[in-house]
Amino acid sequence: MPLSSPLIFIHYGPARYLRWTLEAARRTNPEKRIILLGDQSNRHFVQGVAEFFFFEEFATGKPLQEFERVFQVIQGERHRYTKEGGVEKWLQFVFRRWFLINEFLKKEQIDSFWTFDSDTLLLESLDNVENRFRHVEATTQCRGNCLNAWVGSQSLVERYVCCINELFNDSIYLEKQKKRLLYDVTLSFNEMDAFEEFCHREKIKTCRAAQPLEGEAFDDALAMGDGYEFIFQKGIVRNYMKRLWVSPQGKIYIKRADDQQMIRLLSCNMSWMPDFFWKRLFLLTTPRFKKDSTLLEDSKILREVDLTLPWLCRLKNPLSIFGKRYFTKRYI
């Protein structure tokens, strides 16, 4: 295995936050190979910070051909998910991306690698923590339900995509999913369900990246409490998020609700976060001092992160008053 596994993001469609995602990844991992598998609409975000590949160049191979033949949308009647191109395109892509990644890994002769949702801000060097996960085949996020963060081998991805095809060819399994969604009407059958079944069938050894190790953890989502102190906040999609603290060195912390222990975050998943908060968190995590700090040193001088909306964002129609160019440059 290589000492430094590359970092791979995959994304379709334009998204302003990709700028912050890629810049944060490069800032915290200056020597790492960072890759975006994307399309023409997001190619410009990689300039000076990452390599770019069109993901459609890897839409090859018999596994993908089989997937596109058998794939079907399975969702509850009230499942709503606003994404570029609509919910059905998104549901296909969350599966399809793993077939594209698999072909990319084979072409580039990559074995172990890191991957995160494209709306993730990395806060620390991945090389410093990679050895913590060598005892498992991969790590998980999404409360343990999705393949994310560190992936130990290309062969694992190959087996995963083969299992996805097996599931879409398994009429009994699919019928169980459809019956489940008659009750869980706001949900869908997605790649997380497939990964859970894959792990069950093949006894895959994983660990949760959000489980603290040596006082540090990868965040599943700031918009989910998960046993940490949280705060109700207007202006964000779910109206609440974890409370955050920052040190002078730009380290971000969360506090466990039960024992009040401070946990240093290695990443922040920004799903459902407003645009202004991306810039705020990126700037807060820019260290004011170059000196490395210990968890103990940081815990003595933390300040809580201000989560309130900028006053301009509270106006009903700030664009009509100040203009879109001024507003987006200042707050987005």
Does residue 1 form part of some domain? no
Q: Please state the rounded mean pLDDT for residues 81-103.
A: 91
Is the model more confident about 2 or about 249? Answer: 249
What whole-number distance in Å separates Cα of residue 171 and Cα of residue 115? 31
Where a domain ends, among 159, 187, 208?
Answer: 208
Kindly tell me if the per-residue pLDDT of 329 is higher than 50: no
pTM: 0.89
Where a domain ends, among 158, 177, 208?
Answer: 208
Asked if residue 143 and residue 125 are part of one domain, the reply reads: yes
Where a domain ends, among 150, 183, 208?
Answer: 208
Reported as a single tens digit per residue, the pLDDT across 32-86 is: 999 999 999 999 999 999 999 999 999 999 999 999 999 999 999 998 876 777 8
Q: Looking at residue 249, what is its pLDDT?
A: 86
Query: From its phi and psi, is residue 65 left (phi > 0), alpha (psi between -120 and 50) or beta?
Result: alpha
What whole-number distance in Å separates Cα of residue 147 and Cα of residue 19? 24
Asked if residue 227 and residue 152 are part of one domain, the reply reads: no
Residue 234 banded pLDDT, cuts 50, 70, 90 = low
Q: Mean pLDDT for the chain?
A: 88
Does residue 312 form part of some domain? yes
**For the residues of 106-119, what is the DSSP string, one character each?**
HHHT--SEEE--TT
Asked if residue 192 and residue 232 are part of one domain, the reply reads: no
Residue 237 banded pLDDT, cuts 50, 70, 90 = low
pLDDT > 90 fraction of the chain, expressed in percent and rounded? 73
CA distances from 315 to 253, 321, 331 (A): 31, 9, 13
Q: Please state the rounded mean pLDDT for residues 108-128.
A: 97
Q: Based on the structure, what is the number of domains in the chain?
A: 2
Does residue 2 form part of some domain? no
Q: Looking at residue 245, what is its pLDDT?
A: 94
Does residue 25 form part of some domain? yes
Q: Out of 167-171, 206-210, 322-326, which region has the weakest mean confidence (pLDDT)?
A: 322-326
Kindly tell me if the per-residue pLDDT of 326 is higher than 60: no
Residue 122 banded pLDDT, cuts 50, 70, 90 = very high
Reported as a single tens digit per residue, the pLDDT across 272-318 is: 888 888 989 999 998 665 556 666 566 667 889 887 765 444 444 54
Reported as a single tens digit per residue, the pLDDT across 148-160 is: 999 999 999 999 9
Asked if residue 239 and residue 202 are part of one domain, the reply reads: no
Is the model more confident about 105 or about 288? Answer: 105
Residue 248 banded pLDDT, cuts 50, 70, 90 = confident
| Domain that residue 267 falls in | 216-331
Q: Taking Cα atoms as reference points, which of 172, 127, 131, 164 lies closest to residue 147?
A: 164
